[in-house]
Amino acid sequence: MMPKRTKIATLLAEGNTGFETTVMGWIRTFRNNQFIALNDGSTNQTLQVVVDFENTDPALLKQLTTGAGIACTGQIVPSMGKGQTLEMKATAIHVYGDCDPEVYPLQPKKHSLEFLREIAHLRFRTNTFGSVFRIRHHVAWAIHEFFHHRGFVYLHSPIITGSDAEGAGEMFRVTTLDPVKPPLGEDGEVNWKEDFFSKQTNLTVSGQLEAELGALALSEVYTFGPTFRAENSNTTRHLAEFWMIEPEVAFADLDDNMDLAEAMLKHIIRHVMDQCGDDLAFLEQRLLDEEKNKPQNERSAMTLREKLQFCLDNDFARVTYTEAFDILRNSTPNKKKKFQYVLEEWGADLQSEHERYLVEKHFEKPVILYNYPAKIKAFYMRLNDDNNTVAAMDILFPGIGEIVGGSQREERYDVLRRKMADMHIPEEEMQWYLDTRKFGTVPHAGYGLGFERLVLFVTGMTNIRDVIPFPRYPGYAAF
């Protein structure tokens, strides 16, 4: 039976001394055959374990190397050394797993993020990724807390689906058919009726359509699960597998939707600032150290925690697409053609560079854009009275661009059918969705929050592959 252990975070937070306990973790450093810096992942801080090397088996001392997994039992006493208030005087040490320092890639020095992506199976043991993934946990917890306290029902939407919610077609196919010799029909095409589900199926790009079904009976629901895009993109903002939060609310319009999303984001940021102070401080200092080598004009205007507090202290700017388009079209970068995508005609889809200009240069705070041109948005978004725009909204954050996308949904049966026909969406495949508009339809709205983009913002990291434990992107599916 394993002995009971005390987490290092608990020891350091309580600050008590004069008792015996057991700690377990991995050695960060072992100095002078006497001082172990032990970390167990509960905090970035290490516990100093003092070894009585004169009365310790030399063979055991040789096993106490960086990376080794050990258990230490001993007395917690005040520390006389610098850098810690307490330490353990070890009376017993057990090595669960030794670690050859000649081949262990995580030596006690600074490693680049690019290098750590190459050994992603070990990067959890670094301070940076310890902080990132503890914060990721708290972001997820805060999301569930927010919706639970508001009476929402957590709904599990399917991962395997027969519909393309976004209509983009960039989906991963799910099949059990032989990829070399699939069964063919009389027309020479693949006979999907012989597949496992008797039809073509894919990994979901969104749980929204299914969440709407729940909302139109339970009033307020949300999904929180993995989604997939077979988009051949190698940017710092895209993944092939990522997590989405998608609330849907009955008897709600676009204004209600914007209010809910802003309140949710502020709740999450407030929770992380309250609960993750040490990890935020570490990541903030990491960013400051990185930016020392940059010219002054390329450095962040605010520290990480100042940026988060700024989001809490300010109402998000609410601007129509048309107003934003006019601002962008008349901006200096657009007039001087410094934008990669120069804006000329109303109706253009805004790119990340445009979104960041609005947030970081013009309004200098988070922005909610709404009432987008209908032609650049999905079929399920409610057509406005002008017959030219839809009741859609995106929330833009500094350094990230779009972080939330949502809309009031089209609840009118005839209008929805017409939009589906215009966008060549087969009505027979979506009859289950149309039924909700035939039987007791009501106004309703919802949005999708890209979980990793939010974690990216909260942690100050710059590459989305560094805020998900096991990233999936073109050419890479390790583990």
Q: What is the CATH number of the domain that holds 36?
A: 2.40.50.140
Residues 280, 414, single domain; the answer is: yes
Same domain, 276 and 390: yes
Whether 236 is covered by a domain: the verdict is no
Check pLDDT > 70 for residue 142: yes
Torsion (CA) 262, 264, 268, 269 in degrees, nearest 10: 10
Instruction: Name the least confident of 11-25, 190-204, 219-233, 283-297.
Output: 283-297
In 3D space, the residue among 244, 231, 232 whose CA is nearest the CA of residue 170 turns out to be 231
Q: Is the pLDDT of residue 165 over 80?
A: no
Q: Is residue 161 part of a domain?
A: no
Mind listing the pLDDT tens digit for each residue in 428-439? Answer: 888 999 999 999
The answer on 386 and 295 residing in a single domain is: yes
Domain boundary, last residue among 72, 107, 142: 107
> What letter represents residue 287's amino acid?
L
409 and 357 within one domain: yes
Boundary residue ending a domain (75, 107, 139): 107
Instruction: Give me the amino acid identity at 111.
Output: H
Pairing of strands 401-408, 389-397: antiparallel
* Tens-digit pLDDT profile for residues 338-360: 999 999 999 999 998 999 999 99
pLDDT for residue 33 is more than 70? yes
- Shared domain check, 38 and 134: no
Looking at the fold, whether 87 and 134 belong to one and the same domain comes out as no
For 228-250, what is each residue's pLDDT tens digit? 999 888 888 889 999 999 999 99
Predicted model pTM: 0.94
* pLDDT at position 94 over 80: yes
Count up the domains in the chain and report the number: 2
Q: Are residues 350 and 458 in the same domain?
A: yes
Instruction: List b or e across 155-177, with b for residues whose CB sees 16 or more CB atoms inside 10 angstroms.
Output: bebeeebebbbbeeeebeebeee
Model pLDDT, residue 428: 87
**204: in domain:** no
In a domain, 89, yes or no: yes
Same domain flag for 103 and 129:
no
pLDDT score, position 300 = 82
- Same domain for 250 and 102? no
- Whether 178 is in a domain gets the answer no
* Partners of residue 445 on adjacent β-strands: 249, 408
Q: Is 203 a domain residue?
A: no
- Asked if 101 and 137 sit in the same domain, the reply is no
- The reported pLDDT for the residue numbered 251 is 98
- Domain span at 17: 8-107
User: Is 82 within the bounds of a domain?
Assistant: yes
Q: Does residue 431 lie in a domain region?
A: yes
Any idea what the CATH number is for the domain that residue 249 is in?
3.30.930.10
At residue 380, the 3 state secondary structure works out as: coil
Q: Are residues 439 and 366 in the same domain?
A: yes
Query: Same structural domain for residues 92 and 147?
Result: no
